[in-house]
Amino acid sequence: MTGISRRDMGRLALAAAAAVPATARAQTAPSGPPIRIGYSMSLSGGLAPNGRPALTAHKIWAEDVNAKGGLLGRPVELVNYDDQSSGAQVPGIYTKLIDVDKVDLVVSGYATAIIAPAMPVVMQRNMCFVSLFGTGVNTDFKYDRYFSVNCTGSQVKETFAKGFMDIAMSMDPRPRTIALVNLDSDFHQRTAESARFLAKERGLRVVYDRAYPPSTVDFGPIMRAVAAARPDIVFAGSYPPDTAGLLRAASEQRVNFQMMGGPMIGPHATAQKLQLGPILNNLVVWDVYAPEPTLQFPGTKELIDRYQPIAARENTDALGYYVPPMAYAQMQVLEQAVRRVGKIDQAALAADMHANQFDTVIGPLRFDAMGEWTEERNLYTQYQGVQGNGIEQFKRTGTQVVLYPARYKSGELRKPFTAGA
């Protein structure tokens, strides 16, 4: 037996260096026809500020899955079309996705207005449907292959405003009166109904209860009428332009409520956080995620860290705390079900989704018979100590503390709400 020379050692090392990654690549690289996932997404129109971050999160998920060997050994491919934020476009898009593009799986685009029009088409084809930010969509359809990635749960009326009311009723002195003001939209009508129901249950007197149309420009008269009713607390439901209008009006009129907030969608987007700055202080806002230590799950930070540079390039929401974690979780639900089932079988996937827990970047979740979360997780958060309009403060813990639910609580309520005064 001859010894191995230094030259032979060098050759062996070189061969090993070349061979090992090749072997590893052979084990992890996905192959075969892609698993195609189809959906509509609002890339233009009023829902685009949330649709585009959702798509970015989906792309990050697809990259992650393909980098880890794909799904069932096959690469995943996203097939999506811009629905222009119009529900009227949605049935046609899903018909094309399923009948022409022959996608293997479908998920929803962003929000109730886009999810509901897709339902009849998806139901006709008996496909599993994992939705994103839908509220009460399946109440009427009762489709057993529908699964909602939204924290509201199936008992919206009984639970949506529960966190807000629990926080309010824990104040000393306890509030006696409440004002309800909301946008005339499906989501906000449901949330106002919950607040109305729970206010009555807790003995709160409703001193103002009115909706405003989407075309409202000046919110001064609304806020003035609310303040004139002298409520202790205000439950408001609004979309971004209205939220800015309501809070600006509140600031100009130097309101002083023991507590104000609710599903005021707006500060969820970075642009509005920066615009409103200190006006947000002490506002109690319904949310789905906040960068607090109590809401860190496996993969959450990594997702945000990867999302933010892409968002800066693509001019989408800079921080990405609202939609991206949920959108990523939407795909994780699909991914985990497919891995467990081991094939693309819509009935088996639905059965798996009903039976098992999913570990996602927004935490563990399970679905009930209606496809909603078995346990609602409406977060009520409060902005605290906001100074100026810098973005960095919103990345720090303690700026948007979680007040409800108790298991994720990260701070104490501050009162009153004075809109920055």
Q: Which residues of 318-351 are buried (b: 16+ CB within 10 A; e: fewer)?
A: bbbbbbbbbbbbbbbbbbbbbeebeebebebbbb
Question: Closer to another protein at the Cβ: 245 or 299?
Answer: 245
Question: Closer to another protein at the Cβ: 169 or 206?
Answer: 206
Q: How far is the CB of 210 from another protein (least distance, A)?
A: 4
Q: How far is the CB of 39 from another protein (least distance, A)?
A: 18
Spatial separation of the C-alpha atoms in residues 52 and 309, rounded to whole Å: 14
The encoded tokens of residue 393 equal 């403060």
Please give the full DSSP string across 275-302, using - where no structure is assigned: HHGGGGTT-EEEES--S-GGG--TTHHH
Spatial separation of the C-alpha atoms in residues 417 and 261, rounded to whole Å: 9
Q: How far is the CB of 185 from another protein (least distance, A)?
A: 12
Q: How far is the CB of 157 from another protein (least distance, A)?
A: 22
Question: Closer to another protein at the Cβ: 43 or 106?
Answer: 43
What is the Cα gyration radius of the chain?
Answer: 24
Q: How far is the CB of 53 from another protein (least distance, A)?
A: 10
Question: Closer to another protein at the Cβ: 326 or 334?
Answer: 326
Q: How far is the CB of 253 from another protein (least distance, A)?
A: 6
What residues are paired with 257 via a beta bridge? Answer: 417
Question: Closer to another protein at the Cβ: 43 or 259?
Answer: 43
Q: Which spans in 77-214 are helix H?
A: 90-95, 112-124, 138-141, 156-159, 162-169, 186-201
Question: Closer to another protein at the Cβ: 79 or 271?
Answer: 271
Among left, alpha and beta (phi > 0; psi -120 to 50; other), residue 142 is: left
Contact residues for another protein, defined by CB under 8 A: 43-46, 48-49, 51-52, 184, 210-218, 220-222, 224-225, 228, 240-241, 244-245, 248, 251-254, 269-272, 275, 314-317, 389
